[in-house]
Amino acid sequence: MSQELRINNNKFIDQTTRLSFKFNGEKLYGYKGDTLASALLANNIHLVGRSFKYHRPRGIMTCGSEEPNAIVQIGNDPSLTDPNVRATEIELYEGLEAFSQNCWPNVKFDIGGINNFLSPLLPAGFYYKTFMWPASFWEKYEFFIRHSAGLGKSPSKPDPDIYDHKYYHCDVLVVGGGISGIMAAKLSAENNNETLLLDDKNTLGGATIYQNNDCFQIDGTHTNYWLEKEIKKIKNIKNLTIKTRTSLAAYHGYNYLLAKENLTDHLSPDERKGKIRQRLWKIRAKKVIIASGSIERPLIFNNNDRPGIMLSSAIKKFIDFYGVKTGKEISLFTNNDSAYETVISLKKSGVNIVSIIDIRDKSSSKIVKEVEKHNIKIYWNHTIVNTEGYRRISFIEIMKLSDDGSGVIGKKIKLKTDCLGISGGWTPMVHLFTQSGGKLKFRSDDNVFLPDKNKTPSDQISIGSCNGDFDIKDIILNSNRDVKTFLGIESSPFDNLKVESSKEEKKKNIWLLPSDKPIGKTKPFLDFQNDSTAKDVKLALREGFKSIEHVKRYTTTGMGTDQGKLSNMHALGIIAETTGTNMGELGTTTFRPPYTPLTFGAIVGRNIGEFFDHIRKTAMHNWHVQNKAKFENVGQWKRAWYYPKNGETMFEAVQRESKAARESVGILDASTLGKIDIQGTDASEFLNRVYTNAWSKLAIGKCRYGLMLNEDGMVYDDGVTTRLGENHYIMTTTTGGAANVLSKLEDYLQTEWPELDVYLTTVTDHFSTISICGPNSKKILSKVIPDLDLSDQSFPHMSFKNSKINGIKCRVMRISFTGEHSYEINIQSNYAKNVWELCMDAGKDYNITPYGTETMHLLRAEKGFIITGQDTDGTMTPSDLQMDWIIGKKKFDFIGKRSLYRSDTIRDDRKQLVGLLTDDPREILEEGAQIVEKLNQKPIEMLGHVTSSYFSPNLNKSIALAVMKSGKKLKGKKFFVPMENKNINVTVTDTVFFDKENKRLNA
Amino acid sequence: MLNFETTVQDSKSYGDLTLSEVEPILKINLRSNKREFSTKIGKLLSIIPPIEANTSSGNEDYSILWLSPDEWLIYSNKKTPYEQQNLLEENLFNNISYTNQGSVTNVTDHWVMINLKGSKIYDLLSKSSPYDFKNFKMKKGSVAQTLLNHTDVILHNIDDNNINLFVRRSFSEDLWLWINDSARFL
Amino acid sequence: MFIINCPYCGERDQTEFSSGGEAHIVRPKQPTELSDDEWAEFLFMRKNIKGIQFERWNHSHGCRKWFNVVRDTSNDKIHAVYKMGEKPPVNK
């Protein structure tokens, strides 16, 4: 380790704990407390990556989340590797391995660097302009672009890490643990507010915690000492929860905020095992205090992107906080006073300052005077016109600014320097404020967009430098005042603090600093990651782009992973200047969440794998599993699909099950059907209104099939409803429709028909349903419930009986969805598996065959029974389904009745349900296949499509249901179903294929 | 008697957190907007259904949870054998449903009741419930109907750090797995 | 994500609710007497306003009650919440 760049006795770095890490394969050392960036700089490594388009060498530029250049790949494990990590944010741990991105074969020699020399050929919109044409070449272009571009590698294997979610409710949320955030948190928590304080760093205190400078004092001590004491004190406040390493990602309406807490990214791989990696906080705060701070602006001048050129504030943090000298011969280039704070810090640590280049004429503030005492050369009214040094800055060239600042004059001075700090003023971090719906106003003194107090959503304030206060005196005074008002606090321990600071007196701003060369020959970078320069923005304007949102996308300025945090303001400034617009009127591009990138892991939390979606199971589920059922997802339910035996294919199993159900007896778990208990004196009237058919005359103990429509007349759901008593019914719905039907019925009862005395209660999970079907079903049931009279006279089709099985009450319905003689046993779910087993036992001698949903679908298709959602799609009326018989025409009204004779619903060329038979009975149609009449037509007219299709073992031929234009009139006509390799000949038939006379119901 | 088989059939503990299904518990859904309903229930169970939202009433034997202005859930505080469940259900049905004072529906197996006990139960719930438990936590007898891991649940605060959770039977195994998974990381 | 003050249960997270579109569209008492156009007006026509809108919401994961909400669709601010059958507390 290059010890000469490290300062001893730094309180933020634990120099007793040495950590080894690797960068691009080279083994290096740092200390506990370092970030990867500070450790690299301590090893004298500035060059860390290449730019996106020109592949120019780029170095560490900042010390925070705004970093555009030092973007690295962490680790190379195919499931754990993490791309696009900012070296300035990742904390060093033992064994960290990092790699430069976006360069090949390596960061020092990068083939793509040739683009740098081609750069005159790669202006803004180059890709859009060039690769547009010819369109057929796009795939070839894409191959090339994908290879030469690229920001890191995605992991290729599933992420084994654990991610957690947490909902959190508090009175006050304080975002940012800098000096104003600390003050706010203290005021809030000590005044009886449940308070949460978040900071994205591992230490609180923001930039003040290392501001150890005579010019800035609170109550007679340096600001850092004062703040340190305050932080110690707030850690003991009961109402205050502090979360460090937690970054606010999004601020939504109603003070709903998302924050990501990093729990293990700073630990060595061994220490991480079994722990939660990141936690997504979903915060609801009654009030929010934003103290998100500000980011220093760079300056835009020719070749301002070389490694070693850094923000002045970053140089200061590296020396004051991390104890790392970023160079030995440092120069500073500024338009404001804050660079002078860096100078004092560097001087204290014995770093040689080459010179200060200040574009202002003069400044006589306290801090400037302090610097002047050190005898450092300050070039007032000068600018940098060029820099040199390929992998690291080596020289700067400076010239005097002309009177109006638009050009340079005089002699060029060349200065040797190995690190250049640039300072272009400060940009308040208003991202969160605008995400929440706040509007900005422009302050022209120092060209900043600030939260507009009059256009701030209620229950939030911004304080500190994100609110435009940059002087420590203003920060303390205004934060204290604003928080007190916001939280209704009368007095505060900060009321009478004595604060000393250096007041900045002069400001000057030039968005694009001039060079002695014409702009076309310069490279003043705006977006360092995307390589867009000031001249790209100007070109875009010349080409007619006016909206800033368009300029952004055309030039890609602000579209890197830093999302324009660093220099979007300069782009806006240059646009405003070039077009002669006021910046306030121009506005900003939209700040969208997340503020810093979120991992997919944090977003999904534990809802992966077995928790990806709910799994609903019936009471007989384990029986199905033990009997090797294959399962089908129906909504969230797992339903037994078929039960393959001895290596059967699905087709074979379904053929066997279907035959057994018709020839002897089959058993089906029908528990997933929705069940609604309906009680009340108006229950019959209610059913009259919700179903198309009539219900008043249904006798107690009888069942009836009902069809439910939407108000638009389209079939919505269907099922059998049973009259249990005078004012008591049980309705069944489809599996998928259960929740929606209940909510729709509640809707009508609560809003349209509140006068009806009807109560609905779902009992879907209370009852399990076992359906026994086939000519031997009666024999099975008589064994399971011996004392039940099963004679047709006493227990005919479409009726029900209360009974008991071994002392447990049950309801038995004689209803059929297969056309066979069948029964449904409804019993409390906790006993259902046992009853199922009893049925299986009772059926042994009759080859009782469990069948799944596929066989059920096949059997009902043989009978032409529809499945809502399969044969209907929300555009089918009962008449379209050839079910006119179920319309109670004499009824005064029911849901959807009026729609049944709208001009559109009575058209006779609507798609209507038909049966289809293939000319070759062995040919099975594909569901969804289109039906046509003329094969040679162009474009071919599609008349309809297949909705259900099976091979019927009971008819020994293929059968299908389909919807076809004017289908009702097409019986006997021939059509084609064109497939990829052949055209299948089909004939339209009746929808009922099997037992048209319904003889089997009573067999 | 038939074999009785619930979904969870298990009890687990993580630190001082214990999770267990309590069964057999009688559960009955009540709905009514009739005037005499409350008095009738009072006579039958010696408990008046609560009118205040998010609360419950109860005695040694039964709790009545407020679900909506016209809906309540009764459950037995003690394990109740089937015959006894049956008697109460019939008694309620005959006195309420049959006399058109509202509806009485047995939902014993519709809901699975899981008891959660321990100092970290609210940390557990906050992992996937958007509900603000601040008031619920403080007030014994509080009732909340909300979402837990995107599943509908009814929560009943029966004591400090001791709640009964009701989840639909078909979702119960899924939620149980989720609760156990989350409890590992408290 | 709003917080909605359910008139029965109190303030709850939006995830507990489902939206039911425009409020105060009354189902005609005698649909059969309406012309196609009149029925279509009831069936299809909705305002979808930018600004103050009267909406129906259901506390679907709570008490399952329907109620009305006055919401400014431009900023999601909820101005009032009232029960079914009640008059809007702000001018419609």
Q: CA–CA separation, A532 vs A528, rounded Å?
A: 7
Judge whether A240 and A185 are in contact, CB under 8 Å: yes
A665 in a structural domain: yes
Q: Which of residues 754-773 of A touch C (CB under 8 A)?
A: 754
Contacts of A622 (CB under 8 A, 6+ apart): A833
The CA-atom distances, in angstroms, between A276 and each of A110, A160, A267, A280, A602 are 38, 11, 12, 11, 10
Q: Which pLDDT value is given to residue A146? A: 54
C92 in a structural domain: no
SS3 of residue A87 by DSSP: coil
pLDDT tens per residue across span A453-501: 999 998 999 999 999 999 999 999 999 999 999 999 999 999 999 999 9
Q: CA–CA separation, A861 vs A870, rounded Å?
A: 11
Average pLDDT over residues A406-425: 96
On whether both B34 and B67 belong to a single domain, the answer is yes
Sheet hosting strand B71-76, strand order edge to edge: B56-58, B62-68, B71-76, B27-31, B103-106
A931 in a structural domain: yes
On whether both B18 and B75 belong to a single domain, the answer is no
Q: Which residue of C has its CA nearest to B144?
A: C62
Q: CA–CA separation, A415 vs A85, rounded Å?
A: 34
Q: Is the pLDDT of residue A940 over 70?
A: yes
Cβ-defined contact of A747 to C60 (cutoff 8 Å): no
Q: CA–CA separation, A47 vs A44, rounded Å?
A: 9
Q: Is the pLDDT of residue A113 over 90?
A: no
Vertex A165: Cα angle to A162 and A169 (nearest 5): 155
On whether both A572 and A634 belong to a single domain, the answer is no
- Interface of B to C at Cβ within 8 Å reads 53-54, 67-69, 71, 130-132, 145-147, 152
Cβ-defined contact of A167 to B111 (cutoff 8 Å): no
**What are the structure tokens assigned to A825, written together?**
């046993």
Orientation of helix A223-234 relative to helix A179-190, angle to 10°:
30
Q: How many domains does chain A have?
A: 6
Question: Which helix (H) or strand (E) segment is A663 a member of?
Answer: helix A650-663
Q: CA–CA separation, A326 vs A475, rounded Å?
A: 29
Q: Which of C8, C10, C61 sits opposite B147 (nearest CB)?
A: C61
Q: Express as a percent the part of chain A with pLDDT over 70.
A: 95
A733 in a structural domain: no
B3 in a structural domain: no
| Peptide bond connecting A68 to the previous residue in cis, omega within 30 degrees of 0 | no
Q: CA–CA separation, A861 vs A840, rounded Å?
A: 26
From A682's Cα to the closest Cα of chain B, the distance in A is 10
Q: Which pLDDT value is given to residue A305? A: 94
Is residue B68 less than 8 Å (CB to CB) from chain A? no
Q: Which of B65 and A3 is assigned the larger pLDDT?
A: B65
Q: CA–CA separation, B164 vs B182, rounded Å?
A: 18
State the pairing for strand pair A703-709/A715-725: antiparallel
Q: Which of residues 23-62 of C touch B (CB under 8 A)?
A: 61-62
pLDDT tens per residue across span A887-905: 998 889 999 999 999 999 9
Confidence of residue A137 (pLDDT cuts 50, 70, 90): low
On whether both B17 and B36 belong to a single domain, the answer is no
Question: Of B107, B132, B164, which residue sits at a domain end?
Answer: B107
Q: Is the pLDDT of residue B156 over 70?
A: yes
B83 in a structural domain: yes
Confidence of residue A135 (pLDDT cuts 50, 70, 90): low
Cβ-defined contact of A899 to C75 (cutoff 8 Å): no
Give, rounded to a whole angstrom, the gap between the first and last alpha carbons of chain B.
41
A693 in a structural domain: no
In chain C, what residues touch A254 (CB-CB under 8 Å)?
A: 1-3, 76
Chain-centre distance of CA A707, in angstroms? 40
Which residues constitute the domain of residue A390?
Answer: 308-408
In chain C, what residues touch A893 (CB-CB under 8 Å)?
A: 30-32
B5 in a structural domain: no
Confidence of residue A126 (pLDDT cuts 50, 70, 90): low
Question: Of B47, B72, B107, which residue sits at a domain end?
Answer: B107
C-alpha dihedral sign at B80, B86, B92, B96: positive
Q: Which of A457, A747, A903 sits opposite C36 (nearest CB)?
A: A903
Confidence of residue A782 (pLDDT cuts 50, 70, 90): very high
On whether both B92 and B127 belong to a single domain, the answer is no
Judge whether A129 and A570 are in contact, CB under 8 Å: no
On whether both B54 and B16 belong to a single domain, the answer is no
Is residue A743 less than 8 Å (CB to CB) from chain C? yes
Contacts of A697 (CB under 8 A, 6+ apart): none
In the complex, which subunits touch B with 3 or more CB pairs below 8 angstroms? A, C
Average pLDDT over residues A267-284: 95
Q: Express as a percent the part of chain A with pLDDT over 90.
A: 83
Chain-centre distance of CA B50, in angstroms? 14
Selection from B132, B143, B129, C8 nearest residue A255 by Cα? B132
Orientation of helix A548-555 relative to helix A534-542, angle to 10°:
120
In the complex, which subunits touch A with 3 or more CB pairs below 8 angstroms? B, C
In chain A, what residues touch B23 (CB-CB under 8 Å)?
A: 830
> Residue A469 corresponds to which amino acid?
D
Q: How many domains does chain C have?
A: 1
**Mean of per-residue pLDDT scores for chain A:** 93
Among C4, C12, C60, the strongest candidate for a mutation testing the B interface, having the largest count of B CBs within 10 A, is C12
Q: CA–CA separation, B160 vs A910, rounded Å?
A: 63
Q: How many domains does chain B have?
A: 2
On whether both A642 and A530 belong to a single domain, the answer is no
User: If phi over 0 gives left and psi between -120 and 50 gives alpha, with beta otherwise, what is residue A441?
Assistant: beta
SS3 of residue A888 by DSSP: coil
The model's pTM is 0.93
From B24's Cα to the closest Cα of chain A, the distance in A is 10
Spell out the alpha helix ranges (H) of B32-162.
37-45, 82-92, 121-125, 134-138
Average pLDDT over residues B138-163: 97
Confidence of residue A144 (pLDDT cuts 50, 70, 90): low
What CATH number has the domain bearing residue C16? Answer: 3.30.2270.10
Q: CA–CA separation, A962 vs A414, rounded Å?
A: 84
A829 in a structural domain: yes
Cβ-defined contact of B53 to C10 (cutoff 8 Å): yes
Q: From the CB of residue A922, how many other CB atoms can be counted at a distance below 10 Å?
A: 9
A966 in a structural domain: yes
Cβ-defined contact of A618 to B181 (cutoff 8 Å): no
On whether both A51 and A81 belong to a single domain, the answer is yes
Confidence of residue A431 (pLDDT cuts 50, 70, 90): very high
B1 in a structural domain: no
Q: CA–CA separation, A244 vs A263, rounded Å?
A: 10
Q: Which of A742 and C88 is assigned the larger pLDDT?
A: A742
In chain A, what residues touch C66 (CB-CB under 8 Å)?
A: 746-747, 750-751
On whether both B140 and B96 belong to a single domain, the answer is no
Weakest-pLDDT range from A562-576, A617-631, A923-937, B153-167 = A562-576
Q: Which residue of C has its CA nearest to B151?
A: C61
C-alpha dihedral sign at A971, A972, A973, A974: positive
Cβ-defined contact of B108 to A806 (cutoff 8 Å): no
Selection from A795, A821, A835 nearest residue A669 by Cα? A835
Q: Which residue of C has its CA nearest to A896?
A: C31
Instruction: Tell me the CB-side half-sphere exposure of residue A686, using CA atoms within 13 A.
Output: 30
On whether both B69 and B136 belong to a single domain, the answer is no
Judge whether A525 and A69 are in contact, CB under 8 Å: no
Cβ-defined contact of A759 to B31 (cutoff 8 Å): yes
C89 in a structural domain: no
In chain A, what residues touch B106 (CB-CB under 8 Å)?
A: 763, 766, 828
On whether both A283 and A323 belong to a single domain, the answer is no
B51 in a structural domain: yes
Percent composition of chain B: helix, strand, coil (DSSP 3-state, to 5): 25, 35, 40
Spell out the alpha helix ranges (H) of A818-977.
829-842, 853-862
Q: CA–CA separation, A102 vs A736, rounded Å?
A: 49
On whether both B87 and B17 belong to a single domain, the answer is no
Q: Which of B68, B132, B152 sits opposite C8 (nearest CB)?
A: B68
Weakest-pLDDT range from A64-73, A102-111, C60-69 = A102-111
Cβ-defined contact of C61 to B145 (cutoff 8 Å): yes
State the pairing for strand pair A666-669/A849-850: parallel
Weakest-pLDDT range from A122-131, A852-861, A884-893, C20-29 = A122-131
pLDDT tens per residue across span A625-683: 999 999 999 999 999 999 999 999 999 999 999 999 999 999 999 999 999 999 999 99
Percent composition of chain A: helix, strand, coil (DSSP 3-state, to 5): 25, 30, 45
Average pLDDT over residues A722-726: 97
On whether both A199 and A341 belong to a single domain, the answer is no
From C80's Cα to the closest Cα of chain A, the distance in A is 15
Is residue C86 less than 8 Å (CB to CB) from chain B? no
Q: Which pLDDT value is given to residue A9? A: 73
Q: From the CB of residue A518, how many other CB atoms can be counted at a distance below 10 Å?
A: 8
What CATH number has the domain bearing residue A992? Answer: 2.40.30.110
What CATH number has the domain bearing residue B151? Answer: 3.30.1360.120
On whether both A484 and A522 belong to a single domain, the answer is no
Weakest-pLDDT range from A108-117, A150-159, A325-334 = A108-117
B37 in a structural domain: yes
Q: Which pLDDT value is given to residue A17? A: 94
Vertex A963: Cα angle to A960 and A969 (nearest 5): 100
Which residues constitute the domain of residue B157?
Answer: 10-25+108-186
On whether both A474 and A526 belong to a single domain, the answer is no
In chain A, what residues touch C75 (CB-CB under 8 Å)?
A: 253, 437, 457
Q: CA–CA separation, B172 vs B111, rounded Å?
A: 8
From A999's Cα to the closest Cα of chain B, the distance in A is 35
Is residue C65 less than 8 Å (CB to CB) from chain A? yes
On whether both A855 and A981 belong to a single domain, the answer is no
Weakest-pLDDT range from A107-121, A523-537, A790-804 = A107-121
A38-56 burial, b if ≥16 CB within 10 A, otherwise e?
Answer: bbbbbbbbbbbbbbbbbbb
Q: From the CB of residue A593, how many other CB atoms can be counted at a distance below 10 Å?
A: 16
Question: Of A851, A868, A885, which residue sits at a domain end?
Answer: A868
Is residue C75 less than 8 Å (CB to CB) from chain A? yes
pLDDT tens per residue across span B88-136: 999 999 999 999 999 999 999 999 999 999 999 999 999 999 999 999 9
Q: Is the pLDDT of residue A318 over 80?
A: yes
A645 in a structural domain: yes
SS3 of residue B144 by DSSP: strand
Is residue A611 less than 8 Å (CB to CB) from chain C? no
What CATH number has the domain bearing residue B88? Answer: 3.30.70.1520
**What are the structure tokens assigned to A244, written together?**
């460090």
Unique residue bearing structure tokens 């227990």: A795
Q: Which of C8, C13, C16 sits opposite B53 (nearest CB)?
A: C8
B2 in a structural domain: no
Cβ-defined contact of C85 to A754 (cutoff 8 Å): yes
Which residues constitute the domain of residue C42?
Answer: 3-26+36-83
On whether both B31 and B52 belong to a single domain, the answer is yes
A350 in a structural domain: yes
Q: Which pLDDT value is given to residue A120? A: 60
What CATH number has the domain bearing residue A447? Answer: 3.50.50.60
